[in-house]
Amino acid sequence: MPKVRGSGVIEKDKRYRNTWKITFYLGEKDEQGRYKRAPKRTIHGSKGDAREALAAYIEEYEQGTNPANQTIGQYARRFHELREGDPSISPLSYKRETIDIAHVCELFGDISLGKLTPGMVRAIEAEARKEGDYSESALHKMHQKLRQVMQDAYLNEIVPRNAVDLVPFPRPRPKENRKSLTPDEAARLFQCAEAEGGVHATGLMLLIATGMRRGEMLGLMWGFVDLDGERIFIARQYDTDKNLREPKTEKSKRWVSINGRMADILRAWKAQQAGEFVAIGLHQTEETPVFANELGQFIDPNNYARWWRNFSVDNGFGVFTKDVRTNRMNGKEVTRGKGYEGLKLHELRHTQATLIQGAVSPKAVQHRLGHSQISMTMNTYAHALDADEIAAPEAMDRILGRKNT
């Protein structure tokens, strides 16, 4: 085995921030008379992290370890560790990726990187499907993550090709039993929220009227609400890790039209919130959350989810199945408990797409819901979609009980 020549090479990857390529020269020349280099490896982090990784890489080589002999499990776990803190990946996405990496290790973990073949990928995935231990969606996510791991090994010149590239795995079609409210149910839910009033219920009305994601609604600030133009710009989301960040894709940044009833409700809510803020010594600004808690800060998504479950049960859209008890609150009896079953907030997005069928084009629905690809809209809502974005709020106005004149 050729010896290491020199102390190694660290190159900055100009495509990404805090990303480096490491390698080192070997005491052996190629046919052109140039010294050969070890396969490159990608490192995320500081230059100091790259130096440490390079030193470990050289030590690994000098101990006689062939990178291609690493198991897929070893490489996948290391790949995942190096992505932690990468600014291009949200903490929530990283957390979800942990599950996919675990599945990769369960199915392919003991196989050497250099020995994986397309036939092995097909056989292992077919067996997993036959055993029924994974849903088709979980298998698809695992396949995509395995492909990403092997692509990293290929780009780092550890394997000659990405075997997973030769095994297509189309995105599974969504289940047909995806819940969507009828026009009457959507109108009743909206009316229940309007009767409830307050910050949580007003946020719910916006979800029903626009099909926004919960995190997008909670991350909305007044500076992104154009009440004169009757539209909102979705540019942030507030997630369960309690961080305000950009939406998950560029397509998720979008203008969404509102008009009629919803626009009037937001105007009234802005005035009400401003008055409540003055009473506690706060001032409403462009950076104020549209749906702020009693301290003027963003509402905890977990607290909002708890409010939603209680509201849903109180109004007949869900039930509690465990530790059920009856309490008296504000002069009326309410049911509280655990094990919620019923309408989910995310299903309001499906309701939005379903109820505006015929009023807008699939392209407009893609824009309104913030899908990254129109294929996602078509695959999910082909049964419901048959004209422009501006027609969507008008259609929802009619459904929710307002007659435009």
Report if residue 175 sits inside a domain: no
Please indicate, yes or no, whether residues 323 and 220 belong to a single structural domain of this protein.
yes
Please indicate, yes or no, whether residues 282 and 243 belong to a single structural domain of this protein.
yes
Boundary-marking domain end, from 137, 166, 195: 166
DSSP label at 175? P
Query: What average pLDDT does the segment 378-395 reach?
Result: 49
Report if residue 254 sits inside a domain: yes
Report if residue 294 sits inside a domain: yes
Question: Closest by alpha carbon to 97, among 113, 112, 111, 82?
Answer: 82
Return the beta strands (E) in 268-357 as ranges: 318-329, 332-342
Please indicate, yes or no, whether residues 56 and 135 belong to a single structural domain of this protein.
yes
State yes or no: pLDDT of 360 exceeds 90.
no
The per-residue pLDDT for range 300-343, each reduced to its tens digit, is 999 999 999 999 999 999 999 999 999 888 788 889 999 999 99
Report if residue 51 sits inside a domain: yes
Provide the domain limits for residue 29. Answer: 4-166
Radius of gyration of the chain (CA): 27
State yes or no: pLDDT of 391 exceeds 60.
no
The CATH number for 359's domain is 1.10.443.10
End-to-end CA distance of the chain: 83
Residue 332 three-state SS? strand
Model pTM score: 0.58
Please indicate, yes or no, whether residues 10 and 144 belong to a single structural domain of this protein.
yes
Report if residue 387 sits inside a domain: yes
Please indicate, yes or no, whether residues 263 and 150 belong to a single structural domain of this protein.
no
DSSP label at 320? E
Instruction: Count the domains in the chain.
Output: 2
Question: Closest by alpha carbon to 295, among 277, 274, 271, 270?
Answer: 277
Please indicate, yes or no, whether residues 156 and 199 belong to a single structural domain of this protein.
no
The pair phi, psi for residue 326, each rounded to 5°, is -110, 130
Please indicate, yes or no, whether residues 262 and 343 belong to a single structural domain of this protein.
yes
The CATH number for 155's domain is 1.10.150.130
Range ranked top by mean pLDDT from 64-68, 253-257, 307-311, 357-361:
307-311
Please indicate, yes or no, whether residues 73 and 133 belong to a single structural domain of this protein.
yes
Please indicate, yes or no, whether residues 77 and 158 belong to a single structural domain of this protein.
yes
pLDDT value for 3: 80
- DSSP line for 87-148: TTS-HHHHHHHHHHHHHHHHHHTTSBGGG--HHHHHHHHHHHHHHT-S-HHHHHHHHHHHHH
Please indicate, yes or no, whether residues 374 and 298 belong to a single structural domain of this protein.
yes
pLDDT value for 90: 72
